Amino acid sequence: MSNTHNFYSVANIKNVPYAIQEAIDFKKIAKPQIGLGKTMVLLFFNSSLRTRLSTEIAARNLGMNVISLDMSQSWKWEMEEGVTMRFDTAEHIKDAAKVISGYADIVGIRAFPSLTDKVADYQDDLLQKFMHYADVPVVNLESAIRHPLQSLTDMMTIKEYQKIEKPKVVLSWAPHPKALPQAVSNSFLEWAVAAGHEVTITHPKGYELDDEFTQGHTVEYDQKKAFAGADFVYTKNWSSVSQYGKILESSDKWRIDKDLMSLTNEANFMHCMPIRRNVVATDAVLDSPNSLLYKQAKNRLHAAEYVLTKLLKNG
């Protein structure tokens, strides 16, 4: 699966369509106990429900021990080399990475963006530097700009529910009261292109995603045109990239409702959750038979089992 020993982005996967099918097939078989006597350490700099549960359970299903640490309760890490650490940082990421990877066989990290400094966020410092210094595989549990376990899950779910060879996949921005990261959307797009999907992205002007992630896809600013004939509607809020971290649109016009969905080809509705009901999408959409919400969530477990198995086999 992996051309390096980490699971940071889609670039770690050699043959993405093959890996997606392999991950789906892996759901049906008894999990090999190849993690016995090994330990996964999960570092959460931000809250988590699905990611923590699915990754912990996946690791244990493979026989691993798991320790999850709430890093928001711990001392702050220094990210820069050569600094005189006189102020608010009590340990250098270099030292933390060396020590933790001295104990663990795999390390998972969740670290959200600041949403105040685009350049810094898009360097994805914490994940990149930890991977640089660590001596064991690192799994991205949602970094400042990517969420690859979610995206593998999303590709598995589309593959399982697509009825035609080339389904029309739409990524629709939707409203949200808080400024949110672009990680899920970024990752979705880079995995989709690798999986062979040309995504129709629709969002209000000013919400253009970073060029690095939109290549191979098209933008349609008219949400109704975008929805026309869609087979999958993947919904997600994100804050502006150009006016970094800002909320530019807060009305209900972009909310996904039955009227919008009626323009599609009986599209399946997808979202990574947690979802604010009747803000992002209406109950009627979320609770319809075409909603894949809980199937997606369940696939998080299987995606994690697949990725960890591959990393353990490589190790």
Amino acid at 251: S
CB atoms within 10 A of CB 198: 12
Q: How far is it, in rounded angstroms, from Cα 179 to Cα 271?
A: 17
Which residue, 67 or 248, is less far from a copy of itself as judged by CB?
67
Q: How far is the CB of 39 from a copy of itself (least distance, A)?
A: 5
Stretch that binds a copy of itself, among 13-21, 114-122, 187-195, 293-301 (CB under 8 A): 293-301
**Separation between Cα atoms, residue 207 and residue 186, nearest integer Å:** 12
Q: Does 298 bind a copy of itself (CB under 8 A)?
A: yes
CB of 56 to a copy of itself, least distance (A): 5
Looking at the Cβ atoms of 154 and 190, the one nearer to a copy of itself is: 154
92's tokens: 């250098």
Q: 264 in the Ramachandran plot: left (φ > 0), alpha (ψ -120 to 50) or beta?
A: beta
| Number of neighbours of residue 250 by Cβ within 10 angstroms | 11
SS3 60: helix
233: enclosing H helix or E strand: strand 232-236
Nearer of residues 76 and 205 to a copy of itself, judged by Cβ: 76
Residue closer to a copy of itself, measured from CB, 177 or 196:
177
55-114: which residues touch a copy of itself (CB under 8 A)?
A: 56-57, 60-61, 65, 67-70, 73-75, 78, 81-87, 89-92, 95-96, 98-100, 102-104
Residue 279 as a binder of a copy of itself (CB under 8 A): the answer is yes
Q: Which is nearer to a copy of itself, 117 or 252 (CB)?
A: 252
Q: Is 47 in the site for a copy of itself (CB under 8 A)?
A: yes
CB of 90 to a copy of itself, least distance (A): 5
- Burial, 72: exposed, middle or buried (Cβ in 10 Å; 0-12, 13-18, 19+)? exposed
Instruction: Name the minimum Å distance from CB 217 to a copy of itself.
Output: 28
Q: How far is CA 1 from the centre of its chain?
A: 18
- Binds a copy of itself (CB under 8 A): choice among 34, 79, 228, 275: 275
52 forms part of the interface with a copy of itself (CB under 8 A)? yes
The helix, strand and coil proportions of the chain, stated in percent and rounded to the nearest 5, come to 40, 15, 45
Considering only 206, 277, 313, 315, the residue that binds a copy of itself (CB under 8 A) is 277
* Nearest-angstrom CA–CA distance, 231 and 265: 5
> Please, which residue, 146 or 176, has the CB nearer to a copy of itself?
176
Residue indicated by tokens 């086999």: 313
Name the residue nearer to a copy of itself (CB basis): 213 or 238.
238
Q: Which of 1, 297, 311, 312 binds a copy of itself (CB under 8 A)?
A: 297
Report the alpha-carbon distance of residue 222 to residue 215 in Å, rounded. Answer: 19
Query: Beta-carbon neighbour count of residue 106 at 10 Å?
Result: 28
Among 265, 241, 313, 312, smallest CA distance to 40 is for 312
- Binding to a copy of itself, residues 158-187 (CB under 8 A): 177
Residue 14 and residue 295: Cα distance in Å, rounded? 26
Nearest CB to a copy of itself, comparing residues 86 and 163: 86
Q: Which is nearer to a copy of itself, 34 or 57 (CB)?
A: 57
Residues near a copy of itself (CB under 8 A) are 37, 39, 41, 47, 49-50, 52-54, 56-57, 60-61, 65, 67-70, 73-75, 78, 81-87, 89-92, 95-96, 98-100, 102-104, 177, 273-279, 283, 293-294, 297-298, 301
